[in-house]
Copies of this chain bind each other. A is one copy, B any other.
Amino acid sequence: MTDHFFFQEWMLSHSGRIEWALDQQLDAGKTIPHRLHEAMRYAAQGGGKRIRPLLVYAAGALGNPSLQMLDSAAVAIECIHAYSLVHDDLPCMDDDDLRRGRPTVHKAYDEATALLVGDALQTRAFEILAQADGAAALRLQMIAALAAASGSRGMAGGQAIDLESVGKQLDLAGLQQMHAMKTGALLSCAVTLGGIAAQLDAASMTHLQTYSEAVGLAFQIVDDVLDATADSQTLGKTAGKDAANDKPTYVTLMGLDYAQKQAEILQAKAIASLASFGDKGIPLKELALLVVNRGK
């Protein structure tokens, strides 16, 4: 059985599992207030690549954690990701009408509801981890890791730097720091959550750190490449927004060819960091390939 064939099976089963887990862990639309809960489901269940949940499961596969604990971590991080997209799309931020090929939450509902949907999805993420299966100490570690990755020193902080950078000449180091916080921190956190659940040793966690930093950076470079080259329909969101907003990107700073080359170098680095895990690292390896090749 080739790695890739094994991974196809793995993806199929875990892609189904995350949708099932999201459905289980989000309040039904019949919970009061109906409209808010319905809109939370609209935001979290509208498809998407589920890369963060898949990274949780893939890192978890390096040990033998309870599958329920991984489910909780996977849903929690996807709730954080979904909340950030809902707030990002608001008129005062990116002002986007389209997300994953559907109207954004503030278009499908209204701005105030979108604000509350994001707020409540964030809360739900921490609630799910607090109530997860497994040892209290592990749950607390996961909550602290998710908060650090998504708060003012992580994702939200990266957003703030992104806002300040519009129209400015950010250099490559500045762009890198912004992306490391804005998207890298949460991608890394996905891998960390899986590693915490699997109770990996310190050396393994260090390899995972190398892996996730390389994947996180590659992910963002590919995002910028896609924004510059793909059309809105392929992307499922409005293309060419960065150029239109005069935002610095890897493509504007490095050029298209160099950016693509960098993404491939980072992919190789990520895969090399998995050497000590043997076959257990196959899902992580294949996810790294997926992230970089998603535009192809």
A residues neighboring B (CB under 8 Å):
27, 31-33, 35-37, 40, 83, 87, 90, 92-93, 110-113, 115-116, 118-120, 122-124, 126-127, 129-131, 136-137, 139-140, 143-144, 147-148, 150-153, 156-157, 159-161, 163-164, 177
Are B120 and A151 in contact, CB atoms less than 8 angstroms apart? yes
* Contacting residue for A137 out of B32, B36, B136, CB 8 A: B136
Q: Which residue of B lies closest to A138 (CB)?
A: B136
Are B90 and A115 in contact, CB atoms less than 8 angstroms apart? yes
Are B156 and A116 in contact, CB atoms less than 8 angstroms apart? yes
The 3 A-B residue pairs with the shortest CB-CB distance, nearest first, are: A127-B147, A123-B151, A92-B111
Write the nearest CB–CB distance from A151 to chain B, whole angstroms: 4
Are A144 and B163 in contact, CB atoms less than 8 angstroms apart? no
Q: Which residue of B lies closest to A148 (CB)?
A: B127
A131 to B144, CA, bound (A): 7
Quick one: copies of this chain in the complex? 2
Are B130 and A40 in contact, CB atoms less than 8 angstroms apart? no
* Contacting residue for A152 out of B40, B92, B156, CB 8 A: B40
A-B contact pairs, 19 of them (CB 8 A): A32-B153, A33-B164, A37-B152, A83-B119, A87-B119, A90-B92, A93-B112, A112-B163, A116-B159, A119-B156, A120-B156, A120-B157, A122-B122, A123-B147, A123-B156, A126-B147, A127-B148, A129-B143, A130-B140
**B residues within 8 A CB of A115?**
87, 90, 92-93, 115
Are B159 and A144 in contact, CB atoms less than 8 angstroms apart? no
Counting chain B CB atoms within 10 Å of each CB, which of A123, A143, A144, A157 scores highest?
A123
Write the nearest CB–CB distance from A7 to chain B, whole angstroms: 33
